């Protein structure tokens, strides 16, 4: 059976003092019933990997360059992330798509590079409020999935995260029916792309204002295999109840 996954995206938060939260999470979940992935900022990556070594907590990054090396000042390649101790990388988050004008094609190139470096990719998909109000959600998800997913993607090296842009950091959450519709669509599209067996094994996460108070309901929805959590992953005291809720459905 595939393992459920609780992934935390710290975004541009965290200093050396924040490493105590990782230590607390390691202590709180010595043998979890679900996989745990934390993605701190790049400045903490190597230290976080050392801290989480020999524990059940995996450490990932928040982005990578499509090239393995080169004259790209300020960028970090997938091999560099792996060398620093990362086992995964988040790609195509809506904030990267919007703030850095990242295209589906670029995300696919990054994912291919990450796979070549041995990293698991968490590829994000999601619609804006304007797109949902214009009834374009299904079209946007299908387009993003088709163009963002590289041919190197498998259930072993890829996770997909549905993050409605309008729900990220707003406190708003889609209805359970809306989440079920999109996750069902993604599973169906994956079956067409990868085949039913591989599609069934690939984990689908929900992201967008996931909190201790709503986690259990979200994890009870069909085709939801975990969550990509933002603000609630910054503190072990907030992230642990979400992990516990996920374990209850595993």
Active-site entry in 21, 95, 102, 163: 163
Q: Tokens 């591989």 sit at which residue?
A: 198
Q: Which residues contact 131 (CB under 8 A, 6 or more apart)?
A: 137, 140
Helix axes 137-148, 104-116, angle to 10 degrees: 40
CA atoms within 13 A on the CB side of 9: 28
d(CA 13, CA 45): 12
CA proximity to 13, closest of 37, 50, 38: 38
Q: Which two tokens stand for residue 7?
A: 């992934």
Identify whether the C-beta of residue 97 lies closer than 8 Å to the C-beta of residue 112.
no
H or E segment to which residue 127 belongs:
none
Residue 68 corresponds to which tokens in the numbers above?
């393995």
Cα gap 52→143, rounded to integer Å: 37
- CA atoms of 79 and 208, how far apart (whole Å): 29
**Active-site residue 127, yes or no?**
no
Selecting among 21, 29, 65, 93, the annotated active-site residue is: 93
Give catalytic status of residue 163 as yes or no.
yes
Active-site residue numbers? 93, 163
């Amino acid at each position: 059976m595939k393992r459920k996954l609780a992934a935390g995206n710290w975004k541009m938060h965290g200093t050396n003092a924040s490493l105590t939260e990782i230590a607390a999470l390691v202590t709180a979940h010595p043998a979890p019933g679900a996989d745990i992935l934390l993605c701190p900022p790049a400045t903490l990556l190597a230290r976080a990997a050392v801290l989480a070594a020999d524990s059940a907590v995996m450490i990932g990054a928040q982005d990578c360059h499509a090239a393995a090396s080169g004259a790209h000042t300020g960028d970090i390649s997938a091999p560099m992330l792996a060398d620093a101790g990362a086992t995964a990388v988040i790609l195509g988050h809506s904030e990267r798509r919007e703030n850095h004008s990242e295209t589906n094609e670029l995300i696919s190139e990054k994912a291919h590079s990450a796979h070549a470096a041995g990293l698991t990719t968490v590829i994000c998909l999601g619609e804006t409020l304007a797109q949902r109000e214009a009834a374009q959600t299904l079209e946007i998800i299908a387009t993003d999935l088709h163009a963002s997913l590289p041919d190197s993607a498998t259930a072993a090296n890829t996770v997909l995260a549905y993050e409605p842009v309008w729900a990220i950091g707003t406190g708003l959450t889609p209805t359970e029916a809306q989440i079920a519709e999109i996750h069902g669509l993604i599973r169906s599209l994956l079956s067409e792309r990868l085949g039913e067996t591989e599609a069934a094994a690939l984990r689908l996460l929900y992201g967008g204002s996931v909190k201790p108070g709503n986690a259990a309901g979200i994890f009870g929805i069909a085709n939801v295999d975990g969550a990509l959590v933002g603000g609630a992953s910054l503190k072990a005291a907030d992230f642990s109840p979400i992990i516990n809720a996920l374990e209850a459905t595993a």
